[in-house]
C-alpha cells in the first residue's frame, strides 16, 4: 500500500535534532514548503555539534556550527533556534534529555514535532548514530511528557505550563516511513540549507557528495510516477 500524504492541517512546529546539519538532510526541504505556506517553525538543537569536525577544536567548531545552522535555517524560513549546549557525542536517552526537550515543547507550544529517527539503521542500510537515536527516542517521550503536569513539576515554577497540544509527531530518515510530502518545489531551498554548512562539509573532504547530489539521492523518487519529483518520507503519528 502506498504511504499516505502527510496531514498538513497544523500551524506551528518544533524540529528537534542532535546536531547542526541533521535537519538539513532532507527535512529542511519540508520545512521550506511549510514556512512558505505560512506555518511557523522553530528549531531545537540539543548540541552545537562541536565534536563533529576532526580538524577543528570543539571550542572553535561549536560557535562555527551554530552559525552555519542559523544561516541554513534562515534559508528555509526559520529564524528562531534554541541550542541546549549538551555534549556532542555523549547524549543519553533518559530523564534529563526528556525534560529539556519537554521544556522547549512547553515553551513553544507547537501543533507538530519533527525529529530524526530513533531507529538503529537508515533506509539505505547505514547505521544511525548514538546521539540521533537518543534524541529521537527522547523527543517521542517528551511529546507526552510536555502534556503531563505531574511530570517535571519544577517546570511549572519556571512558568512552563503543560502543553498537551502536539497532534503530529514525525520522524525523518525512518525505515518505517508511512507518510509522504511532495518537496519538489522546495527542493532547491533544502539544498541551500545544507550548503550553508560549508565548513562542516568541506571538512568531510572532496570525495563526499555535494549537497545537491546527496539530497537528490535521498529525496528523488523518479521510479514512482505518482509521487512528485522529490518526496520527503516520514514515519508519522497523528491524533
Strand partners, 235: 171
- Supply the minimum distance, in Å, between the C-beta of residue 48 and Zn ion: 12
Q: x/- binding map, residues 1-20, to Zn ion, per CB under 5 A?
A: ------------------x-
Residues contacting Zn ion: total by CB under 5 A: 2
Quick one: 152 exposed, middle or buried, by C-beta within 10 A (0-12, 13-18, 19+)?
buried
19 versus 197: smaller Cβ distance to Zn ion? 19
Q: Is the dihedral of CA 177, 183, 188, 192 positive or negative?
A: negative
22 versus 50: smaller Cβ distance to Zn ion? 22
131 versus 145: smaller Cβ distance to Zn ion? 131
Torsion of CA 124, 97, 160, 76, to 10 degrees: -30
Using alpha carbons, list the distances in angstroms from residue 194 to 42, 73, 172, 200, 239.
17, 9, 15, 10, 31
- Residue 26, all three cell numbers: 532532507
- Residue 170, all three cell numbers: 514525525
- Supply the minimum distance, in Å, between the C-beta of residue 23 and Zn ion: 9
- Supply the minimum distance, in Å, between the C-beta of residue 39 and Zn ion: 24
22 versus 69: smaller Cβ distance to Zn ion? 22
- Residue 175, all three cell numbers: 525505515
- The reply on whether position 22 binds Zn ion by CB under 5 A is yes
Instruction: Please identify the residue of the shown chain whose CB is closest to the bound Zn ion.
Output: 19
42 versus 117: smaller Cβ distance to Zn ion? 117
130 versus 151: smaller Cβ distance to Zn ion? 130
- Residue 166, all three cell numbers: 502536539
Question: Do 125 and 85 touch, CB atoms closer than 8 A?
Answer: no
**Which 8-state DSSP code applies to residue 56?**
S
- Supply the minimum distance, in Å, between the C-beta of residue 94 and Zn ion: 19
Strand partners, 121: 127
- Supply the minimum distance, in Å, between the C-beta of residue 19 and Zn ion: 4
Using CB under 5 A, which residues numbered 149 to 208 contact Zn ion? Answer: none
Q: Which stretch binds Zn ion (CB under 5 A): 22-30, 85-93, 140-148, 177-185?
A: 22-30
- Supply the minimum distance, in Å, between the C-beta of residue 217 and Zn ion: 18
* Interaction site with Zn ion (CB under 5 A): 19, 22
Amino acid at each position: 500500500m502506498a504511504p499516505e500524504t502527510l496531514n498538513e492541517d497544523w500551524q506551528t512546529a518544533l524540529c528537534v535534532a542532535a546536531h547542526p546539519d541533521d535537519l538539513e538532510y532532507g527535512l529542511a526541504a519540508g520545512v521550506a514548503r511549510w514556512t512558505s505556506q505560512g506555518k511557523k517553525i522553530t528549531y531545537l538543537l540539543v548540541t552545537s555539534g562541536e565534536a563533529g569536525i576532526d580538524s577543528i577544536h570543539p571550542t572553535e567548531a561549536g560557535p562555527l556550527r551554530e552559525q552555519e545552522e542559523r544561516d541554513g535555517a534562515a534559508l528555509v524560513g526559520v529564524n528562531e533556534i534554541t541550542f541546549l549546549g549538551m555534549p556532542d557525542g555523549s547524549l543519553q536517552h533518559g530523564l534529563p534529555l526528556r525534560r529539556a526537550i519537554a521544556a522547549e515543547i512547553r515553551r513553544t507550544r507547537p501543533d507538530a514535532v519533527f525529529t530524526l529517527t530513533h531507529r538503529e539503521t537508515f533506509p539505505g542500510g547505514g547505521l544511525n548514530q548514538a546521539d540521533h537515536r537518543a534524541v529521537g527516542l527522547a523527543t517521542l517521550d517528551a511529546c507526552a511528557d510536555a502534556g503531563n503536569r505531574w511530570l517535571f513539576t519544577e517546570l511549572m515554577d519556571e512558568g512552563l505550563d503543560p502543553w498537551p497540544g502536539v497532534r503530529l509527531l514525525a520522524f525523518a530518515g525512518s525505515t518505517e516511513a508511512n507518510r509522504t510530502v511532495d518537496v519538489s518545489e522546495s527542493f532547491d531551498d533544502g539544498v541551500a540549507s545544507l550548503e550553508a554548512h560549508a565548513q562542516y562539509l568541506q571538512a568531510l573532504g572532496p570525495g563526499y557528495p555535494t549537497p545537491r547530489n546527496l539530497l537528490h539521492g535521498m529525496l528523488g523518487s523518479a521510479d514512482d510516477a505518482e509521487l512528485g519529483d522529490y518526496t520527503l518520507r516520514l514515519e508519522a503519528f497523528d491524533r
